Amino acid sequence: MGRQMRVGRLRPRWILALAGLAAATMTVAACGGSAVRGGGGGGGDQETVKLGVLLPLSGVYAPLGEDMQQGLRLYIDEHGGKLGGRRVELVTADEGEGPQTAVPAAKKLIQQDRVVAVTGVVSSAVALGVRDLFTESKIPLVISNAGADEITGEASSDYLWRTSFANTEPNAAFGPYVADQVKGGGVYVIAADYAAGKEAMGGFKETFEAAGGKVADERYTPFGETQDFQPYLNAIQRSGAEAVYCFYAGAEAVAFVKQYEEFGLADELPLYSAGFLTEGGALDAQGDAALGIRTSLNYAPDLDNPANERFRAAYQNRFEEEPTTYAVASYDAAAVLDQALTSIDGDVTGEQIAAALGEVGEVDSPRGTWRFSETHNPVQKYYLREVRKQGAGFTNATVRELEG
């Protein structure tokens, strides 16, 4: 349509003004996009490896992408710009909001930029969408967020690895604890109506009911189009449930938690969830409304171990904010690639890295040590966390470890 538009009647000054605005926007966007491309030495140098980074630089997932870039950058810079003794050249591509942007971006990384491995990927649809591409190209993809169970389940591949979590896990780890807390009272289960929400609730209900818990009712809200949760909150109040278990992230997490407090539920019914509810920027926006919410996740900024002490200090120092689970998973993605590359002599291929990833043992991570399972998912601990005040802001404080 744009091509058919004749600009004859647009006055020149408006064209200039619009062009100026457009140029300004593009410049800003370009700056944001190229921020990660650091350290690229000359190509052809034997000691340089090209690592692809597939992360959302735009769209609703961009805040997660930023945390993940920060974790990755921190690890590489802490190691002098090298992984496994080789200089690393990062090539970043935009994952966008789904496979329609991510698949071409992944193809470009593999076929045009000829990277030896790729890390990142926020969306599960993307991870599943590029699975065959990576498997057939024999390039390993180290996923540092996307949580669909399938990725390390039915769809597992020699070339897919994951350093984050599977969606069911934080919820399954939480079930017995919540059952113990409500002591036979019903729990209202509510989640966003999409694959991750369903997987999360499935994981929770399985262990929760096995531990003697009762589900009072269950509701799935339209994903990404619910601005007002009041009708659902009203149904919760009338259900006679004694607690609520939910799964929301990002904008929906902010709206749900704020309205949960505004409509007076926070005083009556304890709210439990996987930790994504109150992670990162969402917690800042929720503010007071989130106080006291208990969640389950594989990381909390105050975890007491030497690796985390160092990591948290360095992260806060450099980015002036608390690290998140998203940053830790990407930091660890760099760590496993570091270990894998260290064990390879001479020229590096994707096949060699994939094989070497299989030999990676215990990873000494800020979340505590973990290792890959048979299907390349982390075997890790989950922690009970509670939202508390910290200085002028809020934090997810560790209460204790959750028993598997």
Phi first, then psi, for residue 87 (nearest 5°) are -65, 140
- Does residue 313 bind other proteins (CB under 8 A)? no
Residues 6+ apart with CB under 8 A from 226: 192, 232, 252, 255
Q: How far apart are the first and last CA of the chain?
A: 57
Q: How far is the CB of 272 from other proteins (least distance, A)?
A: 21
Give dist(CA 166, CA 150) in Å, integer. Answer: 8
- Does residue 63 bind other proteins (CB under 8 A)? yes
User: Which residues in the 247-276 window bind other proteins by CB under 8 A?
Assistant: 250-251, 254-255, 258, 262-264
Of the residues 134, 165, 174, 232, which one makes contact with other proteins according to CB under 8 A: 232
DSSP 111: I
- Does residue 226 bind other proteins (CB under 8 A)? yes
Which of 330, 377 has the CB closer to other proteins? Answer: 330
Q: Identify whether the C-beta of residue 340 lies closer than 8 Å to the C-beta of residue 360.
A: yes
Of the residues 152, 167, 286, 339, which one makes contact with other proteins according to CB under 8 A: 286
Of the residues 234, 316, 342, 390, which one makes contact with other proteins according to CB under 8 A: 234
Q: How far is the CB of 101 from other proteins (least distance, A)?
A: 15
Question: Token match 């597939």: residue?
Answer: 54
Q: How far is the CB of 276 from other proteins (least distance, A)?
A: 13
Instruction: Return the H-helix or E-strand segment holding 126.
Output: helix 124-129
Of the residues 25, 34, 100, 342, which one makes contact with other proteins according to CB under 8 A: 25
DSSP-derived secondary structure for 242-268: SEEEEE--HHHHHHHHHHHHHTT-TTT
H-only helix segments in 224-349: 230-238, 250-262, 281-286, 306-319, 325-342
- Does residue 222 bind other proteins (CB under 8 A)? yes
- Does residue 320 bind other proteins (CB under 8 A)? no
Of the residues 80, 85, 153, 231, which one makes contact with other proteins according to CB under 8 A: 231
Report helix, strand or coil for 296: strand
Residue span binding other proteins (CB under 8 A) among the ranges 47-55, 284-292, 350-358, 371-379: 284-292
Query: Percent helix, strand, coil in the chain (nearest 5)?
Result: 45, 20, 35
Site residues (vs other proteins, CB under 8 A): 1-2, 5, 9-11, 14, 18, 21-22, 24-25, 28-29, 32, 58-60, 62-63, 66, 219, 221-222, 225-228, 230-232, 234-235, 238, 250-251, 254-255, 258, 262-264, 281-282, 284-288
